[in-house]
Amino acid sequence: MFTELGPFVLDSDLKVTLNPYSFNRAANIIFIEQPVGVGFSYPNVPANDNTTAKDTVVALRNFLRMHPELQHRPFYVMGESYGGHYVPNTVKEVQQTNKDKPPGDVINITGFAVGNGYTDWGLDFNANVENGRFHALTSQSLFETAETACNGSYARCFWPRDDVECPKECGDAVTAATVNAMDDSIDIYDIYEDVCLDPSQERLQTQATVLLGEHRKSLRALHKRRRTRATISPIFPTCIDNFSARYLNDPDVQKSIHVLPSTIPNNKWSDCGNVDYDFNYESELVNYQQWVKDGDLEILIYNGDTDFILSHMGNSAWINKGLNLPKHAEWKKWRGSDGQVAGYFEQYETSGLPLTFLTVKGAGHMVPRDRPRHALDMFASFLLGGLYDKVGKESETGLCQK
């Protein structure tokens, strides 16, 4: 709502202005906190992909019953980061529960989009060592040492899990090859951005930091020192996460939006809270395999190309190696409404609608924050059926003051 694709922007004085590139310029947007216990949602209980999907779809159906005029409109699901699991599981739950509903209660699921998402543990996190080398974060010799020691299998040591062995030689080589990315000196979610150096601002937990900090066992000590990310966005100021936290923890703000203080964990708003979430190592590829076989959903997989943690290389790997689809359209550029090259995309054949893989040039883990105008261009094109190379040129939209 305040730091990415939503309608509002906060400055250091907590003054609220309007985001001219908010996604609600192109569609009606419903924000749902996932999983229960984050932000202002409650209660704070253990959760996993299944419970989160079920809770979300119950909420969606209740919302649509309250707004029957929206019931049969095309419906899309969109998310980023661990949304690579949230989104597919939500879509699957919608499809499964639609089968038992009367026509008036069916959600018209049309498509979904996932940005910089975690989809397949082995293929997503096998890309980090190579991604670091290709972005000049390590030397050729350190890369080659890791390649030899790990025999090209890096995920088992870059993102360790209890049921997969990480050989010491491989682990040492992966650590050496990724230390410049992971030692807290740069922003791992956008390697070209600066970090927020304001010592008066506390470190915040976000979905991205929890995703890394809770499950990268070998680098927890390093990650505890993560600084809040900065931004080079033309819309969102540096340290925007801190401004949003201060704003949402203001008692007057909480009162005005009807928050019940007794329901806020630790009496304090935080992006992720302290949810006990069962991190899912199972691949989502089986769901994608069914969807490309059916061919009736519009699917967009997009990546900011400067993200180190969940890179375009990892997402491209699971699409190519995991789905093994023939090409529908080869890699080509797409331009934003400002006429600039905004990134590149390719499309893959399914039994129906093509699957699109797209990059956003110069964006990191949070695409709408880093490249707000191009993110809106991408989103609007997605809703129009994927006309990414036919974005019309428009004049600049100024930031609205209020």
Please list, in sequence order, all residues whose beta carbon lies within 8 angstroms of the beta carbon of residue 224, skipping any fewer than 6 positions away.
213
Identify the active-site residue in 307, 312, 337, 377.
307
In the listed set 222, 243, 264, which residue is the last one of a domain according to the structure? 243
In this prediction, residue 285 has a pLDDT band, given cuts at 50, 70 and 90, of very high
* pLDDT of 307 strictly over 50: yes
Q: Is 289 helix (H, G, I), strand (E, B) or coil?
A: helix
* pLDDT of 214 strictly over 70: no
Predicted pLDDT of residue 266: 66
Same domain, 187 and 201: yes
Same domain, 239 and 126: yes
Q: How many residues would you count in the chain?
A: 402
* pLDDT of 26 strictly over 50: yes
Active-site residue flag, 307: yes
Q: What are phi and psi of 341, to 5 degrees?
A: -60, 120
Cα distances from 142 to residues 77, 160, 188, 337, in angstroms, run 40, 20, 19, 41
Same domain, 217 and 326: no
Tell me if 190 sits within 8 A of 361, measured CB to CB.
no
* pLDDT of 273 strictly over 80: no
**Weakest mean pLDDT among 257-261, 346-350, 358-362:** 257-261
Active-site residue flag, 337: no
Q: Which residues face 16 on adjacent strands?
A: 10
Same domain, 364 and 382: yes
In this prediction, residue 206 has a pLDDT band, given cuts at 50, 70 and 90, of low
Same domain, 212 and 324: no
Q: What is the pLDDT of residues 62-121, one digit of tens each?
A: 999 999 999 899 999 999 999 999 999 999 999 999 999 998 889 999 999 999 999 999
Q: What are phi and psi of 331, to 5 degrees?
A: -50, 125
In a domain, 16, yes or no: no
Mean pLDDT of the chain, nearest integer: 88
Please list, in sequence order, all residues whose beta carbon lies within 8 angstroms of the beta carbon of residue 277, skipping any fewer than 6 positions away.
35, 46, 47, 48, 214
In a domain, 39, yes or no: no
pTM for the full model?
Answer: 0.91
In a domain, 98, yes or no: yes
- Tell me the mean pLDDT in the region 244-260: 89
Predicted pLDDT of residue 400: 46
Same domain, 164 and 238: yes
* pLDDT of 263 strictly over 80: no
Same domain, 133 and 222: yes
Same domain, 84 and 150: no
Active-site residue flag, 252: no
- Tell me the mean pLDDT in the region 140-169: 96
Predicted pLDDT of residue 314: 96
In a domain, 177, yes or no: yes
In a domain, 267, yes or no: no
Domain, as residue range, for 364: 52-119+281-390
- Tell me the mean pLDDT in the region 356-365: 96
Q: Is 113 helix (H, G, I), strand (E, B) or coil?
A: strand
Percent of the chain with pLDDT over 90: 69
* DSSP states along 39-94: TT------B-HHHHHHHHHHHHHHHHHH-GGGTTS-EEEEEETTHHHHHHHHHHHH
- Number of separate domains in the chain: 2
Identify the active-site residue in 41, 49, 55, 81.
81
In the listed set 192, 215, 243, which residue is the last one of a domain according to the structure? 243
Tell me if 322 sits within 8 A of 123, measured CB to CB.
yes
* pLDDT of 150 strictly over 70: yes
Q: What is the pLDDT of residues 14-25, one digit of tens each?
A: 999 999 999 999
Identify the active-site residue in 85, 312, 365, 374.
365
Same domain, 231 and 130: yes
User: How many C-beta neighbours within 10 Å does residue 263 have?
Assistant: 12
In this prediction, residue 281 has a pLDDT band, given cuts at 50, 70 and 90, of very high
User: CATH number, domain at 110?
Assistant: 3.40.50.1820
* pLDDT of 402 strictly over 50: no
Please list, in sequence order, all residues whose beta carbon lies within 8 angstroms of the beta carbon of residue 97, skipping any fewer than 6 positions away.
57, 61
> 369-389 burial string, b = 16+ CB within 10 Å, else e?
bbbbbbbbbbbbbbbeebebe
Strand duo 355-360 + 8-10: pairing: unpaired
